[in-house]
Structure 1
Amino acid sequence: MCVSQPCSWYKSIVSTPRRRREASSARVRWRPVVQQPTDAVIRTVATCVCGSDLWDYRGINDVAEPTPGGHEYLGVVEEVGGDVTVIKPGQLVVGSFFASDNTCPNCENGYHTSCLHREFVGGAQAEYVRVPLADGTLVHVPGEVAEEHIPSLLACSDVMGTGWYAAQAAEVEPGDTVAVVGDGAVGLCAVISAKELGAGRIIAMSRHEPRQKLAREFGATDIVAKRGQQGAARIKELTGGIGADAVLECVGTPAPCSGPSTPPAPAATSASPASPTASGSTARNCSSPTSPCAAAPPRSAPACRTSSSSSWTGASTRARSSTSPCPWTRPRRATRPWTSAAPSKSSCAAEPAPRRTALRGLACPGSRPTDDRSPQRLDLPPVNPQYNFEGQVALVTGAASGMGLASARLFAQAGAAVVLADVNKDAVEAAAKELTDAGHQAIGVVCDVTDEDQAAAMVDQAVAAYGRLDMAFNNAGIQVPPSDAADEKAEDFDRVNAVNLRGIWAAQKHELRQMRTQGSGAIVNNSSLGGLAGLPERAACHASKHGVIGLTRSAAVEYAPRGIRINAICPGVIETPMVADMLKGQAEAMAEIMRQQPIGRLGTADEVAAVAVWLCSPAASFIVGAALPVDGGYTTH
């Protein structure tokens, strides 16, 4: 809230002792003043209620006397002490709930909540707040700030920094599989942070549908609604028995990571001491300002590491570490020294912190390590070939028959909600009914992909039905009769390119518009062996298929940095109704095709579907811009 003129008193939200509490209320209190030369007094522009603020109200914390609440704040500096040189009156600032000088050895090593001179900043649910150690605690927000950006800036006072530090402390790296426990503000910010750090797969553990939707929007690729042993088993299942590379614990309660039936110790949402760990594990209390290890992370390389802290420059932070074995994290083998600020002479900062393994995931022969150390091969169990797309949505065009229908079935069997699109109304509705009768989620959409408006409406219908779009297989295509290149009809050229190339362009365009708002997705475009090689009397058709590969590769380069993978598949001669019609009465042509098939047979629609679905899965997370032959070896000669 804002006031227009300074005054000697102000309003504040106050928690009262439980024994005489009827409700928290607004009270008039004396306006805070500068008490130390390093203080600042700010007029609050925005503040909020944290979950930990409710602990006082609910009686979880003992409140001996009326106490002002709140510790997250954004405001305008009213006055500063004589030793404050960086922060100026009139500046819009955001600050943390622990004041820190930003100069002591602990602060220099990134552990501002363990500042040797720290002070708690409370009472922020008020018109004015006194902030100690202002130069080290407050961050100036430059320029004009639009009103709609105020909530986002306020998040930097606590939850965004906490989620970000959790991801940093777990050393999330590009391509990682990350599990986030908890779907509150910190957990959702941890999802954002893992996404920003390049995680390839983010599993959000959430039991609340509105928060699941937010987690998806922020970058979560999977949702696990189960907890305890069932939740651990589900994550193991999703990761093929390997487990997550990192677990970010953002629940805010002191349940330790003590075994497979209990979630790991939750990341701190307040500056309380670290949770006790399971027998045999090591832990350090990283919250006590007087502890000799206050700024030192644990020595051992934990299977599950928890630490939540705001880490933006100049702001106070909070840390909490626990090192119990977690039942659903990937084993660590190699460690490397802490590489942040050089160790100081202080005993608080002299101990090295664990780092991630030099080689992450499956070891690839000939791969180059990320530092100057030799990678160590990880002996991992074989990847489970079964996919689980529970909570995800797949769109398939040309889905009424052949490769499209086979792919739709496979997506549905893997748990995805499937949108089947085809120009044939009766056939696509029958295909969708087949899936729903089998207990799957599916809808049929009539769409002519040569009409961009219909392609846009197709994507809109998918989102309206299921709330998002995670995967797309752009499969719709046609053939035209073979013809000498000098005799091909213009209308045949236009028709085959309208469906095979422009149709994929239109579908991909509108799929990308939805996926880029989510920050994730996978698209597979159907080309053919005609996109990789030339055959006589197929110039028009093969032009369209070559175009699909160019379209795919260009868009893949553009969208890979945005978390969206795009690939193409190039099927050979597949037993589908369209190929059957094409080869009807052409026994000689069929014989020639069989002679050129190293594998000695035609492919099946199910074999193509298996590749399309694999490319949409996390198993293909490093495949981008590929044009993958599925042709029984036809294009090898």
Structure 2
Amino acid sequence: MSSSFVQSVSPLAPIGVNAAIEAAANPDIKPSSKIFDEFALTDRVGIVSGGNRGLGLEMALALCEAGARAIYCLDLPEKPSEDWVKTKEYVERMGNGSRLEYISVDVTDQAKLWEIGEEIGNKEQRMDICIAAAGILKTHTDCLEYPAQQFQDVMNVNVNGVLFTAQTAGRQMARFGNGGSIILIASMSGTITNRDHAWVSYNTSKSAVLQMGRSMACELGTKNIRVNTLSPGHIYTKMTAQYLEKQPHLLEKWSNSNPIGRIGRSDELRGVVVWLASSASTFCTGSDILVNGGHHAW
């Protein structure tokens, strides 16, 4: 074995089979389960863009439930939504010490985001988790007639905003030297084209996020900062509900596009997000995780 090779050790070591072997050699050791400890986010701090509602808020809550000290939700509205306020109250009532915070900011404003990241770092003295979930989708538009400004608007939020959010957290992770996990929310639309949907700007932006995640993972690996992308399929949220109200036929169309035969629930992303954010996924970086009911399998 190369002398330059350094064996990584879990902060919960010994775990797994090594724990069993050690216990066999020492009868004074009482076996205990550590698997759920690996998923715990105790005392960790993170930011979630697009955290005012929908998938972003769902993910922020999951991080708090897993024990995070503080999760900062970044979003454009000056005041948080009613759903966010109720979720903050829910977190407080859980009594595990987690805090859900809200900050109004435009994710396309790189300088302001960096400033906010610095302020959070100064206050919390750490940064461990980033979920870049802010994104927009424009109406069906013929790719040959797509207006320049509309295309740029989508790219500014879905690509630039994702990069700036990742930078905001990553700079603080590097500052404190504890590593961290950056999760970029892409979409299955980054690797497939939604049939009969003229979404050239959205699909293009999500493809860019996939490559952004791989590129950042390769640059930041030696800093112990992991970067992965998460690609959801069709998920039912209040935003998609409004879309489906105008085109009710799409519910059946989307449901029949995967082997499970339905669209997803927002809570079905909770587990994978906590896994990616936690010590249970410490050897996972540069990967794209598909959660789409098997849409890609057909």
TM-score (norm 1): 0.42
The partner residue of 2:159 within 501, 506, 524 is 501
Residue 184 (structure 2) aligns with: 525
Report deviation, 1:490: 1.7
Residue 594 (structure 1) aligns with: 255
Q: 1:459 to 1:303 in 2, by over 3 A?
A: same
Residue 453 (structure 1) aligns with: 111
| Alpha-carbon separation, structure 1, partners of 2:144 and 2:160 | 23
Are residues 1:582 and 2:243 paired?
Answer: yes
Gaps (5+ residues) in structure 1?
1-167, 178-201, 204-234, 246-301, 305-322, 331-380
Residue 540 (structure 1) aligns with: 201
Q: Secondary structure, in 3 states, of the residue corresponding to 1:523?
A: strand
Q: 1:325 to 1:501 in 2, by over 3 A?
A: farther
Report deviation, 1:303: 3.6
| Alpha-carbon separation, structure 1, partners of 2:252 and 2:187 | 20
Deviation string for 1:567-617 (max 9, x for gaps)? Answer: 000000001122223333112233221221211111111111321221111
Are residues 1:635 and 2:296 paired?
Answer: yes
Corresponding letter in the other structure for 1:460: E
| Alpha-carbon separation, structure 1, partners of 2:134 and 2:269 | 14
Q: Secondary structure, in 3 states, of the residue corresponding to 1:418?
A: strand
The partner residue of 2:265 within 601, 604, 613 is 604
| Alpha-carbon separation, structure 2, partners of 1:634 and 1:502 | 27
The partner residue of 1:388 within 40, 46, 58 is 40
Report deviation, 1:460: 2.2
Equivalent pairs, count: 284
Aligned residue runs from structure 1 range 251-266, under 5 A: none
Corresponding letter in the other structure for 2:184: N
Corresponding letter in the other structure for 1:176: V
Residue 129 (structure 2) aligns with: 471
| Alpha-carbon separation, structure 2, partners of 1:503 and 1:595 | 32
| Alpha-carbon separation, structure 2, partners of 1:588 and 1:442 | 37
| Alpha-carbon separation, structure 2, partners of 1:325 and 1:597 | 51
Aligned residue runs from structure 1 range 59-78, under 5 A: none
Aligned residue runs from structure 1 range 115-130, under 5 A: none
Are residues 1:425 and 2:86 paired?
Answer: no
| Alpha-carbon separation, structure 1, partners of 2:116 and 2:89 | 18
Residue 313 (structure 1) aligns with: none
Query: Percent identity, aligned pairs only?
Result: 26
| Alpha-carbon separation, structure 2, partners of 1:425 and 1:397 | 14
Residue 51 (structure 2) aligns with: 399
Gaps (5+ residues) in structure 2?
none
> Alignment RMSD, CA only?
2.9
Are residues 1:176 and 2:9 paired?
Answer: yes
Deviation string for 1:391-410 (max 9, x for gaps)? Answer: 21121111111111111111
Are residues 1:436 and 2:92 paired?
Answer: yes
Q: 1:327 to 1:463 in 2, by over 3 A?
A: farther
Corresponding letter in the other structure for 2:122: A
Report deviation, 1:621: 1.4
| Alpha-carbon separation, structure 1, partners of 2:112 and 2:262 | 37
Are residues 1:566 and 2:227 paired?
Answer: yes
Report deviation, 1:173: 4.9
Report deviation, 1:383: 3.5
Q: Contact 1:422–1:476 (CA<8 Å) still a contact in 2?
A: yes
If each structure's helix is expressed as a fraction of its own residues, which one has the higher value?
2
| Alpha-carbon separation, structure 2, partners of 1:635 and 1:382 | 34
Q: Secondary structure, in 3 states, of the residue corresponding to 1:565?
A: strand
Report deviation, 1:382: 8.9
Q: Secondary structure, in 3 states, of the residue corresponding to 1:419?
A: strand
Q: 1:572 to 1:326 in 2, by over 3 A?
A: farther
Q: Secondary structure, in 3 states, of the residue corresponding to 1:543?
A: helix
Corresponding letter in the other structure for 1:436: E
Deviation string for 1:301-327 (max 9, x for gaps)? Answer: x949xxxxxxxxxxxxxxxxxx96774
Residue 120 (structure 2) aligns with: 462
Higher relative CO (CA 8 A, sep ≥ 6), structure 1 or 2? Answer: 2
| Alpha-carbon separation, structure 1, partners of 2:78 and 2:26 | 56
Residue 65 (structure 2) aligns with: 413
Q: Contact 2:134–2:158 (CA<8 Å) still a contact in 1?
A: yes
Q: Secondary structure, in 3 states, of the residue corresponding to 2:166?
A: helix
Report deviation, 1:385: 8.2
Q: Contact 1:303–1:329 (CA<8 Å) still a contact in 2?
A: no
Corresponding letter in the other structure for 1:524: I
Corresponding letter in the other structure for 2:143: A
TM-score (norm 2): 0.85
| Alpha-carbon separation, structure 2, partners of 1:243 and 1:453 | 47
Deviation string for 1:204-255 (max 9, x for gaps)? Answer: xxxxxxxxxxxxxxxxxxxxxxxxxxxxxxx89xx6xx4987xxxxxxxxxx
Q: Contact 1:474–1:508 (CA<8 Å) still a contact in 2?
A: yes
